[in-house]
Structure 1
Amino acid sequence: MDSTITPRPCSIASSLHVLGERWTLLAVREMSYGVHRFERIAGYTGASRNILTDRLRTLEQAGVVERRQYSEHPPRFEYHLTEAGTELAPVLLALSEWGDKWANDPPITSFDHDCGHPLKIDHTCRHCHREITRDSLTPRRR
């Protein structure tokens, strides 16, 4: 191996540092569906209590989730997505679409848009409106 090759600084790697653990995006999925209480998030994801506690703590420290107390005796909290967490919606939809195409036969979940048609994610440049492909991208370091 060439000793001059070092890990590439990358926003994907930074994102995975926060979101890359197995149960993390499933917890975000549940909160995006309106599930906010710990027991229900655990139940719908299948995560164990200790793992879910760790994932929610990481998400809270990263500013993706906020805890809101709903009971004083005993103290109980709900988990809600922050603006950063809400902005993960397109990521979740893209993963769902990919999973329907490549990981599940037949697809498990589908979404309808409020226009009445099945949702199809459109990967286009907002500036020129052309399709985004690997060949149309050039990485540029800031």
Structure 2
Amino acid sequence: MLGRTYENQLCSIARTLEVVGERWTLLIIRDAQLGLRRFEEFQDSLGIARNVLTNRLSKLVDDGLLERACYQERPARYEYRPTKKAEDLLTALLSLMHWGDEHAEDPAGPPRIAGHAGCGGNVRERLVCTGCGQRVTSEAVLLLPGPALTESRT
């Protein structure tokens, strides 16, 4: 069985998996991005056990991806709103969605299409150079050592 941490990995992907790598986490974030806010909405959408959902929501709040807000006093009831940190996962979610549409496709077609509210066109994620603004193919991407990767840590 795989461990739950990647403490020996000097890797941004491993650190990201520490936060969003559990089975239901990205689906909860997806649903929050779609506008679901309440416990029952998440449970109905996902069919997830109540105790598992409770744990996942608590972890997402602790990790700063969702904020818990009271919407009813008696009895106390809460909703879960995505934070900026969760919204920053949209590109990753779209990448996973589009990958699934192309490589794990449903014969009926994609379940969702990312549309642009402004013009109605389709939204795609792209690799773009921040220096020149040019679109880059995967073959042109170099994964170079960053400041955290030093001789003593390799």
Q: What TM-score do the two structures reach when normalised by structure 2?
A: 0.81
> What are the within-5 Å matches in structure 2 for residues 29-48 of structure 1?
29-48=30-49
| Deviation >3 Å, runs of 4+ | none
Contact 1:123 1:132 in 2 (8 A): yes
Q: CA deviation at 1:90?
A: 0.9
Cα RMSD, aligned residues only:
1.7
Other-structure match for 2:114: 111
Contact 1:68 1:79 in 2 (8 A): yes
Contact 1:125 1:132 in 2 (8 A): no
Secondary structure at the counterpart of residue 135 of structure 2: coil
Which among 133, 144, 154 is matched to residue 139 of structure 1? Answer: 144
Q: CA deviation at 1:15?
A: 0.7
Residue 123 (structure 1) aligned with residue 127 (structure 2): yes
Q: What TM-score do the two structures reach when normalised by structure 1?
A: 0.88
Aligned amino acid, residue 62 of structure 2: Q
> What are the within-5 Å matches in structure 2 for residues 53-92 of structure 1?
53-92=54-93
Q: CA deviation at 1:97?
A: 0.6
Secondary structure at the counterpart of residue 81 of structure 2: strand
Count of matched residue pairs: 137
Distance (whole Å) between structure 2 residues aligned to residue 26 and residue 84 of structure 1:
15
